[in-house]
Structure 1
Amino acid sequence: MILPLDLGSTVRALSIIAILCVGFILAYLVRKALFKALIRVLPQSLAKNIAKVCFYILTALTLLIALGTAGIDLTALALAGGFAGIVVGFALQPLLSNLFTGIYIISEKALNPGELIEVNGIQGYVLEISLMSTKIRSLDGAILRIPNNEVFNSILRNFSQTPVRRIEFLVSIAYREDAEKAYNVIKHVLEQHPYVLIEPPPEVFVSKLDSSGVNITVRVWVPTELWYDVTMDLLWKLKKAISEAGIEIPFTQIDVWFRTPLKIEKSCQNLTSET
């Protein structure tokens, strides 16, 4: 009776050792293979972290299988783990959402450090993309950290992934001015500017007859990296050229009309002083 018990214990111990060895080796090989596959499309730090998480998961599964082989009842442990997993899942839902969104943003390369973007009306340059958030420097120099879930769920404008960008101005002239003359002045400024692209061609047209003047819309395309400098330069040169041409830029004004003629009387009162 003793020999079968000893033989059974020995076989069980050897099985547990074999499970542990095979599980740890398999977890290590999966970690190495996964890291080599992910490093081609993801940053090194992110690929390393994902491979490490997979290694820990496989190691935990190996330990559970070994404990089950040893005859330990895992029912209570499974129930406690399931309950704890539900509680932790609800508590970490925002963090997990940002985590998986960060992985998606990095893998899809929707953003890259140094690019000019706009998120929720905020423009800035991307400084860093982590698993949880994206850090940008706004145009006024402030450092902003935006959760990746907010970046993913909002309208994202990336200005740096296209070689050219459009600038649009609105030039207003008085009704008494010659619109064709203003058109020629504006076209001359655009043709002389070195960074205004010929293709796509600039557009100059009357867009609205406003209450105070005639609105002329100006659209030009410029290199993306020079967008800000060209915007400031063109505004200054257009204002200068229009003023030198003697074209009036109107201001808001209101004409008041009366139904019946008004009579304006002026009365003079002689003041005398007694001496």
Structure 2
Amino acid sequence: MQAQPPVDDKTKELAETLELAKVAPTSFSHVLEAVTGSMLDIWNAFLGHIPFFVAGLVMLLLTWGVSIVAGKFTRRFARKTTKRSSLHDLLVRLTRIVIWLLGLLIAAMILFPGLTPARALGGLGLLSVAVGFAFKDMFENFFAGILILWRFPFEAGDVIKCEQVEGRVEAVEVRNTTIRRTTGELVIVPNLFLFKNPCEILTDRNKRRFTIYVGVGYGEDVDAAVKVIENAVLGCEMVRDDEPIQIFPRAFGDSSIDIEVTWWGGSTPLQERASRGEVVTAVKRALEDAGIEIPFPHRTLTIRDATGVLQKEV
């Protein structure tokens, strides 16, 4: 056997480099082939899933159409059973919500064939808990709106007063209530605010009671003044005659005997202002015609010179 020549270090390094050069293209081709195969698998899976996407989309369109038709039938049924428009809107919204929930559940089961109703409901429960914590205020307003619509404390067109908000209700929605102030501004009030705070419904009835106070001089006949005021109030057109007028001396004022005058009029803000104006005008005119004094504060000015001598008194 012939002895092989000794291999130096440079020859070994060159051999290793050539070996790596042979292996590297082979490894890169394997990686490229694997990536291409994965992309093809994903594309083929997507193409194979297209019918499920189409079926899910069709299901959503069908749900949309069914919700509209069911909403119309529900509104017709509600109109036959009750006259409250707020209850009509509530029943229609609840019907559409139920139909959309069922439609989304079926669409999800179509889109993901392995999804069962039990798994879907379980996932929906977990999702609802997470969404409930994330949108706590929104859901509180939503359920408060449902309770307001269901209990119907007020309807669109009623005039209400809640804390610093007073005006006519334009719309009662599931989350918010829009109120138009008597000065013209539109206020968007969360339903939770109306649900938690005391709310006065000024137009719950078609009549309200109003009160003013009239003062007559201490030198006047109080019984005669009460009779004059009563006749004046009875002669007002905007004072309702189906409720009693109540006139009572109330207290000893600083410069007059205070008389409380109470009557019933219309419930809207405009009717209130008009009725108050008519009654005040009629009472003042009647007391003046009867010669009964309506006292008012008098101011006396005394002017003295530097020596303290009185110069003028007004």
Question: Same fold per TM (> 0.5)?
Answer: yes
Distance 2:230 2:117 in 1: 81
Aligned residues of 2:90 and 2:150 also touching (Cα < 8 A): no
Aligned residues of 1:212 and 1:253 also touching (Cα < 8 A): no
Counterpart in the other structure of 1:10? none
Distance 2:97 2:179 in 1: 28
Distance 2:141 2:220 in 1: 57
Counterpart in the other structure of 1:53? 97
**191-200 or 230-239: bigger deviation:** 191-200
Distance 1:231 1:201 in 2: 16
Residue from 125, 129, 132 that aligns with 1:89: 132
Question: Residues 148-179 of structure 1, C-alpha deviation per residue, up to 9 Å, x if partnerless?
Answer: 11112222222223122111111112222221
CA-atom RMSD, angstroms? 3.9
Question: Residues 13-33 of structure 1, C-alpha deviation per residue, up to 9 Å, x if partnerless?
Answer: xxx9xxx9xx99xx8999566
Aligned residues of 2:236 and 2:278 also touching (Cα < 8 A): no
For structure 2, the 5+ residue unaligned runs are 1-51, 300-306, 310-314
Using the size of structure 1 for normalisation, the TM-score is 0.68
Aligned residues of 1:35 and 1:47 also touching (Cα < 8 A): no
Larger helix proportion, structure 1 or 2? 2
Question: Residues 113-149 of structure 1, C-alpha deviation per residue, up to 9 Å, x if partnerless?
Answer: 2222222243311222222211122222222221111
Structure showing greater relative contact order (alpha-carbon pairs closer than 8 Å, 6 or more residues apart): 1
Distance 1:238 1:181 in 2: 13
Counterpart in the other structure of 1:219? 262
Distance 1:172 1:122 in 2: 33
Q: Is residue 250 of structure 2 the alignment partner of residue 203 of structure 1?
A: no
Q: Which amino acid aligns with 1:209?
A: F
Report the count of equivalent residues. Answer: 235
Using the size of structure 2 for normalisation, the TM-score is 0.61
Q: Is residue 275 of structure 2 the alignment partner of residue 230 of structure 1?
A: yes
Counterpart in the other structure of 1:154? 197
**126-135 or 71-80: bigger deviation:** 71-80
Q: 1:97 aligns to what SS in structure 2?
A: helix
Aligned residues of 1:173 and 1:214 also touching (Cα < 8 A): yes
